Structure 1
């Protein structure tokens, strides 16, 4: 009984091309109580593998989150396999606007604790008490209401290439980071504003809308089926697109175009561009935006250092990326000091903490520029001596530096380093790969980010 892939991505791509079948790319999700996620996972794999389904699927005791592709000829047979489960009968399948036969090259079905990593304790609120679903036409209409606040619950690298006009786009790496940030910024707007939210396919907003209703927001709405379904509806109904640019997707396409607007720039030269790629150096794999000219010049790499690496013998490349120190650099999402136009100098849109008059707009945004350099992340906190431990992943810090520690629960904390231990020795400088510890007047959490404030 085969329960896992036996072909490489390269072998699968050749098979797809040889078959010559048109493939559909689609996504769906469902919240439901699943008593045995492992058994459910195995049933899905056995049913889908013969249908040539490929994709990334997460199952948990709370439901399923699926992004996949399959031959168009097998679509109805596939629907039969999911509708045998009561909770997936009549489920909405978000079919992509643009198709790519190579959007997925493996069938991966994984059992997870949650189908979306939201960092929430679901026992503290009613996850079924969700915001009102809006179809594309209704969504367009509510955006015109001056009492509407629209929030993008995707990550910074997603909203960078496309967004709804006027939306708040949190500068976050993960969904879980955005929830407390938005909750704090919108405290004064719970009663008299429409909190309207959207994401890629709708799953993040299902949980977010329930969370914000629990937090006391009275008028909570969400885009039904996310941007994927919105794009389909505006095309079918000939509606104006309030979304501009591309919709980032989590497959080999890395985006599908909704409008012709290009709202981002090449991270290396600044030219208008919205094509994401991963650095060609397997030991880096940084996700960033790169134009054709820079792609040719830099051989698909994010830096000259990575260009040098890809020309080394394969065994040397493997040796370089072997181990925790280098492994931690892999799969960073679009922020690096090697990128001239997407480094760690960030601009945050912050709501002024002042309740507006009844007839006022949703609030005033002011730009706060914080020039900082990414250093590393928190790895441990020793409560009795109140000492934080950090892994230095990039650059260096030294005695006298002003640092910023940032995290979902920790918030943003600044302080000056007066003394520290580096690899258990008293030193003045900590470099990439070092572990350093120093006293803190507050608690840090695992994976809090450490930055150096630049002059």
Structure 2
């Protein structure tokens, strides 16, 4: 039996679009003793694959850490697959504030040594002696207490786009790095201060709170469900948000907006911006913040060097990539000498700008039909090439081009070429080209918007 995903991201995105079902993005975690992580992993894959679950899940002897998406109609059936396990009964499921059908495009379940790389020896302290869980309203009250120190247990590229007011935001790239730094900074406050901690979904604080209690901190509190659950509670209970900006998330969205405050800058021009992107150069993929104008000028690249590389023939690019080590050991997140306006660990105390309000459900209301996929983009002439796989397209049609990096762009076709010849209409099987006012990518899809 196949216990792995064999479809490419593009193939999966097409199936999602064709299914036309609303999907939910959610996350959860649980620390528990799992005797056989491999069998647990395989059982989950079999059950979740049937429910069209996609996501990135880690399991270990110490528990599970899951971030995933699934069709909304399968939500209750999914919960039933969790109820099979005692330690997952009534587990808190953190449902995303903003939904995106393409948040995950593969189902990946991996067995790891730990569900979060923390660098700690769990045998040296009681991991069950955790801090006090607090909800949004209690968290806000503790923030107002002058006797409270609030600490962000996320990494620099996460806190840069959004954080709680007055929080200590360590300049680190991994959770493992943050623990000794925070311990040293707070040595003198063990007895008389409230240590209030938070992270994205709560999992890092579960271990960190137990560790700091072991280190002698008396009053340790943690935000239950992390920023994701906090955002849900302030919305439902109409509580003032003490979190400003975006919450960085580890899927194709790369962030969900909590408030309209923009607290970071484009790393290339300094304009207020909080949209993360990955460098287009396959040998770089640096994660950085880039505004729309720089995205257009730099074609999604972090530097002029990378911009030059993406215009080389593909075989030359592959040759340059040969022998490069992949992963975080090479692709540092958000740090490069080319990024002139990177703020790491030194964050502004006030918002730099306000984001434009958008209807995050707007794209679901658009009636559209998938026409084809991108094949090429001619940079100098700003012309896109597509292969029509379904139905027809004509001059005057309103179309939408959508992709993980491109986002969603609408415009009307005013001139059309099919198989190299000017035409009024094109049909299934035709290779079409037309002028596009922005750069497209091979992961992009072409839709016709229906009236």
* Structure 1 gaps, min length 5: 350-455
Do 1:283 and 1:327's aligned partners in 2 also have CA atoms closer than 8 Å?
no
Q: Secondary structure at the match of 2:158?
A: helix
Residue aligning to 2:106: 106
Residue aligning to 1:88: 88
Q: Distance in 2 between matches of 1:343 and 1:264?
A: 8
Residue aligning to 1:301: 301
Q: Distance in 2 between matches of 1:330 and 1:103?
A: 25
User: What is the CA distance between 1:155 and its match in structure 2?
Assistant: 0.1
Alignment of 1:4-19 (within 5 A): 4-19=4-19
Residue aligning to 1:58: 58
Q: Which has the higher mean CA deviation after the structures are superposed, 337-346 or 181-190?
A: 337-346
User: What is the CA distance between 1:313 and its match in structure 2?
Assistant: 1.5
Do 1:57 and 1:66's aligned partners in 2 also have CA atoms closer than 8 Å?
yes
Q: Is the alpha carbon distance of 1:343 and 1:329 closer, same or farther for their aligned partners in structure 2, counting shifts above 3 Å? A: farther
Q: Distance in 2 between matches of 1:272 and 1:256?
A: 17
Could you give the per-residue CA deviations for residues 398-430 of structure 1, whole angstroms, max 9, x where no partner exists? xxxxxxxxxxxxxxxxxxxxxxxxxxxxxxxxx
1:74 aligns with 2:74: yes
Q: Is the alpha carbon distance of 1:222 and 1:347 closer, same or farther for their aligned partners in structure 2, counting shifts above 3 Å? A: closer
Q: Distance in 2 between matches of 1:261 and 1:244?
A: 6
Do 1:13 and 1:102's aligned partners in 2 also have CA atoms closer than 8 Å?
yes
Give me the TM-score of the superposition, normalised by structure 1: 0.75
Residue aligning to 1:122: 122
Could you give the per-residue CA deviations for residues 103-154 of structure 1, whole angstroms, max 9, x where no partner exists? 0000000000000000000000000000000000000001000000000000
Do 1:335 and 1:343's aligned partners in 2 also have CA atoms closer than 8 Å?
no
Do 1:283 and 1:330's aligned partners in 2 also have CA atoms closer than 8 Å?
no
Q: Is the alpha carbon distance of 1:297 and 1:343 closer, same or farther for their aligned partners in structure 2, counting shifts above 3 Å? A: same
Q: Distance in 2 between matches of 1:115 and 1:328?
A: 17
Q: Is the alpha carbon distance of 1:264 and 1:344 closer, same or farther for their aligned partners in structure 2, counting shifts above 3 Å? A: closer
Q: Distance in 2 between matches of 1:9 and 1:170?
A: 34
User: What is the CA distance between 1:331 and its match in structure 2?
Assistant: 2.8
Q: Distance in 2 between matches of 1:241 and 1:324?
A: 44
Report the number of matched residues: 349
Could you give the per-residue CA deviations for residues 339-391 of structure 1, whole angstroms, max 9, x where no partner exists? 11128897999xxxxxxxxxxxxxxxxxxxxxxxxxxxxxxxxxxxxxxxxxx
Q: Secondary structure at the match of 2:98?
A: coil
Q: Is the alpha carbon distance of 1:29 and 1:300 closer, same or farther for their aligned partners in structure 2, counting shifts above 3 Å? A: same
User: What is the CA distance between 1:327 and its match in structure 2?
Assistant: 7.2
Q: Is the alpha carbon distance of 1:87 and 1:325 closer, same or farther for their aligned partners in structure 2, counting shifts above 3 Å? A: closer
Could you give the per-residue CA deviations for residues 235-292 of structure 1, whole angstroms, max 9, x where no partner exists? 0000000000000000000000000000000000000000000001111000000000
Q: Distance in 1 between matches of 2:3 and 2:106?
A: 12
Q: Distance in 2 between matches of 1:181 and 1:250?
A: 24
What RMSD, in angstroms, separates the aligned Cα atoms of the two structures?
Answer: 1.7
Residue aligning to 1:173: 173
User: What is the CA distance between 1:308 and its match in structure 2?
Assistant: 1.0
